[in-house]
Amino acid sequence: LFAGGKDMPDLSAFPKSQQVTFKYHQGVLAFLEENYVAAEQHLTDAWNNCHKDAVRNKERILTYLIPCRLIKDHMLPTEKLLAQYPRLQKLFLPICRCIKRGELHNFDLALQEGEDELVKRRIYLTLERGRDLALRNLLRKVFIARGFEEAKEGEKPARRSRVPVTEFAAAISLGSQERIDNDEVECLLANMIYKNHMKGYISRQHGIVVLSKSGAFPGTGV
């Protein structure tokens, strides 16, 4: 596809339908190479130029654009978008819902459920990485659920930023009903902090996580 690229006329010299096809394949190739930045660019180009009635083609583009956006920008398709494409809805909706709600265990189940189809389309491994987002949203829910410190006079109430590891552990095992030990939870938490899904540090001595007072969960408004 790329070979001889220099000998070819500019892409804009081709009919639009061919441009879209070319961009789609370029996007999928980049996607499979896990170059999600390039993939998103190509697929978005294809999407924007795709004929509005070419439903099957738009469906194909979205098959890769959705996982791409998920990993790169932490964006999910709206339910409205998915509703227009029943096949994609079946494929993505359960997974997206679980991510949004932070239902970690249900996320695992949804991924298992769709495994054959997702592997066939070669998006399984990419979507699997969405587990981090489900976990982030679950941990964030714990943080939100714990509410606020008593406000000092004249100050805005701050969220309670010191969270016992056991509370995160309870949240994680809530879905699966499997007990998970604190070391394993600490490991998950450390990973979250490392990946910048969560800001703060773990105090092993006290068994608590001290979360950042300004933006404990980057990009999520708290």
Partner 1 sequence: AASGGDATQHLWEESWDDDDTSDDFSAQLKEELKKVEASKKR
Q: Shortest distance, CB of residue 221 to partner 1, whole angstroms?
A: 8
Strands across the sheet containing 200-203? 162-164, 208-211, 200-203
Instruction: Tell me: does residue 156 bind partner 1 (CB under 8 A).
Output: no
Which range, of 3-11, 29-37, 166-174, 186-194, touches partner 1 by CB under 8 A? 166-174
103: Cβ–Cβ under 8 A, 6 or more apart, which residues?
A: 97, 134, 138, 175
Instruction: Tell me: does residue 76 bind partner 1 (CB under 8 A).
Output: yes
Segment (H or E) for 209: strand 208-211
Answer for which of 28, 68, 70, 192 binds partner 1 (CB under 8 A) is: 70
Q: Shortest distance, CB of residue 4 to partner 1, whole angstroms?
A: 28
Answer for which of 3, 12, 13, 52 binds partner 1 (CB under 8 A) is: 52
Answer for which of 68, 95, 137, 211 binds partner 1 (CB under 8 A) is: 137
Instruction: Tell me: does residue 174 bind partner 1 (CB under 8 A).
Output: yes
Q: Shortest distance, CB of residue 79 to partner 1, whole angstroms?
A: 9
Distance CA 106, CA 109 (A): 5
Eight-class DSSP state of 214:
S
* DSSP strand pairing (200-203 vs 162-164): unpaired
Give me 10's structure tokens.
């500019």
Distance CA 70, CA 150 (A): 37
Residues in the chain: 222
Answer for which of 28, 30, 50, 211 binds partner 1 (CB under 8 A) is: 50
Q: Shortest distance, CB of residue 141 to partner 1, whole angstroms?
A: 6
Contact 173, 103 (CB under 8 A): no
The footprint of partner 1 (CB under 8 A) covers: 16, 47-52, 58, 69-70, 74-78, 80-81, 99-103, 133, 136-137, 140-142, 144-146, 164, 166-167, 170-171, 174, 217, 219-220, 222
